[in-house]
Structure 1
Amino acid sequence: MSGSRLPGTPAGEERVVLHVDMDCFYAACERRRDPTLAGEPVVVGMGYEAGERHGAVATASYEARAHGVESAQPISGALAALPRAATAPPDHEGPVGHYRPVDLPYYREVSEEVRAILHDVADAVREVSIDEAYLDVTDRVGWHSVEIFAGSLRERIEREAGVSASVGVAPNMSTAKVASDHDKPEGLVVVPPDAVREFLAPLPVDELHGVGPVTARELRSLGIETAGDLASTPRDRLVSRFGSRGGTIHDHARGRDERVVEPVGKPKSLSSESAFTEATDDVEVIRERLRRLADEVTARAESRDALYKTIGVKVVEPPFDVNTRARSLSGPVADASLVESVALDLAREFEGERVRKLGVRVSNLSFDAATQAPLDAWEGESPPPTSAEDDADDGPGGTERGGDPEGQTTFVDFS
């Protein structure tokens, strides 16, 4: 396609933006925990236990969706479409579903593993929910090799975190999001700058970022069926009907989005993680990797002028047995040698065990240097291991689809 450079973007300055969206994330986490669920219909939700009268589906695997189970559906409808395997009568011959309760602390733990990978490959990461994020990798990769880069990222997420993702690549956020939804699951769609309008034009309007079901119905009532129709509609007509949002969706249909990929608010924790090619019990190899991770995470904290009160490690044993340990100071500090020392000490508990992945994290962050505490003020000699709930406080949080990651969590996954 010729002459389709994004309006207002100088030659050679097109951004390279990725949208990473996990595939049926809650169900994928349950499969990671129980590999026997691979390929089976999995439904994560509430209200399917005997005696419970109300509930809803949080997410359904693609196999479950094939039998009519959908996210946000009443659990009664899901059970009618796909009986629960645990309670199906012995003579039942049709398909059955494997129902699991929502376990947000565990999902946040897995999400944090994915988040660590994203921050390792990109300098600018905007986490918009527990299972999706935008990355600006302009300074790391060019358009000539971004497909290889994105494919490697997707493979790394599956290899190290045990869940799958779809990745969309485009010169702006809204188009990248459309691209990541375009070929789910495990999709990889790259939309170069000169192909944005061509890619968007034939798509139904409800596939555009920012166009929900109600807006889509209104647009269709105006004879606007596709993104191409929307792009060719006079802008003032859309603004008159939808207000400023009309201008926004008009821009998105034309491949325009001036938003910058930047974090939402200040982080609650910083971490660095690394997986071994093969699990190892070599103490020196493990300790050297911990030293490198401690150096990486303290460098990131220093670059953000962040102090930290809690120092922790993550030790993952095969296949995905996650162990976390942490210690806290009486106040926030910035001390790289202390982080290394504490990380090595915490990991001693696992000496002799085979390890497939390691992580170092600093949390309970402060961004005021005046609050730095004395370095000899520990809160207790040997605090107990952090629980999944404690880890969740530092996790990505947020709504499953859009919204502020510091806001309340809802249990609906539309990936």
Structure 2
Amino acid sequence: MAPSPAADPRVLAHVDMDAYYVEVELLTQPELRGRKIIVAADSGRSVVLSASYEARVDGVRSAMPLSRARQASPHAIVLPPHMERYREISRQIMAYFDTITDAVEQLSVDEAFLDLTGSRRRLGGPEQIGQKIRREIREQFGLPATVGIADRKFIAKIASTRAKPDGLLLVPPHRRLEFLHTLPVTAMWGVGAKTAQSLEAFGITTVLQLAQTPEPALRRRFGVTGTALHRLAWGEDARAVQPHRIEKSIGAEETFAQDVADDAVLRAELLRLSHRVAARLRESGVSAQGLSLKLRYSDFETLTRSATLTHPTHSALAIYAKMLALLEKLGERSQSVRLIGIRAERLVDDAGGLQLSFDRTETNWVDAESALDAVAKKFPHVQTAPASLLRARREDPGLGDS
């Protein structure tokens, strides 16, 4: 039996910037508007970070290998990414969201949930606020944004997906189930390709079919996932917008232009990635309790190794030391390395975390790294890095950020 719709005054919006990286690039290259554009590092091993809607018509998608994207859309223009610019504009957009509501949950650089419940008296009805957000983002930043509005988080996100590009879709509470039950099951949050295949094998291809399938049957077949999907199919989602969400992990990785067998090159790359990850940890005001090393070999076999730290850290020195230890534990490698990466995990807020290290050396390094952060922020065009990395770049002009 379907749950009876309960009165719910919540008004939640999901704001998603359209083809964000592409649109930011078009701010400085407007003559390219309307062209097929791919944002990716211009190398045979990179992947698509973003694609214009014109390129998407050819089948180009984010995370697709650039080599395959070029085959799908041979006339597309490939633009190199400018990650710091994307992050800076994202910070400005999130600050703008704070003028709309004090309940903003940032999901990534280009999307966020906003709880508009308390903003209605000041700013008007849900649709009026949604149009205001789209208009002011366009006026202030020159960028398009799509807004989905509903009384449930996952429905607001589905609504923004259905309204793309540059649109707005409001799903009022009394039309919640009507909206959901017209959708394919692949539109549901948490239903990826494998889950969709499993559901299809069970005879379920639409949200309506999912809702009409008895929950015990779904639970027997799919476990807790079946129960969760059944509840979502009936519009049950009590999750609130969570302001100031701490990232679950922060990482960085490098895909080499040529496979690498030299330990010295791998150690140098680990040092560079350690500084990138540490700087992002400090920028986010968090420290890592765990770290993981990722290696992908020339035959695409991928290994990960993890370690727990004795105390949380945002020190590049501490991260690098642990990465070297994990690399050494792997022993002699039978293949060259195609990709290497670092991920900081189990993050804790620096304001509430205990720094239990008594190592003065690490403290000195953190002070020095923080000073470099300040220099980089004030002078973004000045290159700051350990001397060994600066020497490596001078000796090898092809070595740079991914």
TM (norm. structure 2) is 0.60
Q: Corresponding residue for 1:67?
A: 58
Instruction: Report how far residue 150 of structure 1 moved.
Output: 0.3
Instruction: State the SS of the aligned residue for 2:120.
Output: coil
Contact 2:35 / 2:76 at 8 angstroms: preserved in 1?
yes
**What residue is the counterpart of 2:167 in the other structure?**
187
Q: Secondary structure at the match of 1:139?
A: helix
Distance of 2:98 and 2:232 partners within structure 1? 27
8 A contact 2:137–2:143 mirrored in 1 = yes
**Alignment map for 1:245-394 (pairs within 5 Å):** 245-265=225-245, 367=351, 386-388=378-380
Partner of 2:14: 19
Question: Structure 1 pair 194/40, CA: closer, same or farther in 2 (3 Å)?
Answer: same
Alignment of 1:207-218 (within 5 A): 207-218=187-198
What amino acid sits opposite 2:81 in the alignment?
V
Q: Distance in 1 between matches of 2:150 and 2:381?
A: 36
Q: Does the aligned pair in 1 maintain the 2:104–2:244 contact within 8 Å?
A: no
- 2-structure distance, mates of 1:161, 1:128: 19
- Match of 1:287? none
SS of alignment partner, residue 117 of structure 2 = coil
Q: Is the 8 A contact 1:20 1:132 kept in 2?
A: yes
- Identity rate, percent: 37
Query: Structure 2: how far apart are the matches of 1:248 and 1:219?
Result: 14
Q: Which residue matches 2:206?
A: 226
Partners of 1:5 and 1:221 in 2: CA distance: 26
Q: Which segments of 5 or more consecutive residues in structure 2 lack a partner in the other structure?
A: 248-284, 286-348, 353-370, 383-401
CA 1:171–1:5 in 2, change beyond 3 Å: closer, same or farther?
farther
Instruction: Report the Cα distance in structure 2 between the residues aligned to 1:389 and 1:202, rounded to whole angstroms.
Output: 51
The amino acid of 1:244's aligned partner reads: V
Distance in 1, Cα, partners of 2:376 & 2:222 = 55
Query: Greater relative contact order (Cα 8 A, min sep 6): structure 1 or 2?
Result: 1
Separation (CA, whole Å) in 2 of partners of 1:215 and 1:385 = 44
Instruction: Return the structure number with greater helix share.
Output: 2
Amino acid at match of 1:193: P
In 2: Cα distance, 1:101 partner to 1:180 partner? 27
Distance 2:71 2:9 in 1: 50
RMSD: 2.9
Displaced runs of 4 or more, over 3 A: 4-7, 264-267, 365-368, 382-385, 387-390
Letter in 2 for 1:245: T
Instruction: Give the secondary structure class of the aligned counterpart of 2:163.
Output: coil
Cα distance in 1 for residues equivalent to 2:246 and 2:16: 22
Figure out how many residues of one structure are paired with residues of the other and give that number: 263
1:136 and 2:112 aligned: no
On the 8 A contact 1:235/1:247 being kept in 2, the answer is yes
Is 1:6–1:193's contact at 8 Å kept on the other side of the alignment?
A: no
Residue 107 of structure 1 is matched in structure 2 by: 86
Supply the AA of the counterpart residue of 1:124. A
Residue of structure 2 aligned with 1:79, choices 64, 70, 91: 70
Post-superposition CA distance 1:60-95 (Å, at most 9, x none): 110111123222222112212323xxxxxxxxxxxx
Unaligned 5+ segments in structure 1 are 84-95, 268-307, 309-364, 369-378, 391-410
Are the equivalent residues in 2 in contact too, given 1:16–1:171 (CA < 8 A)?
Answer: yes
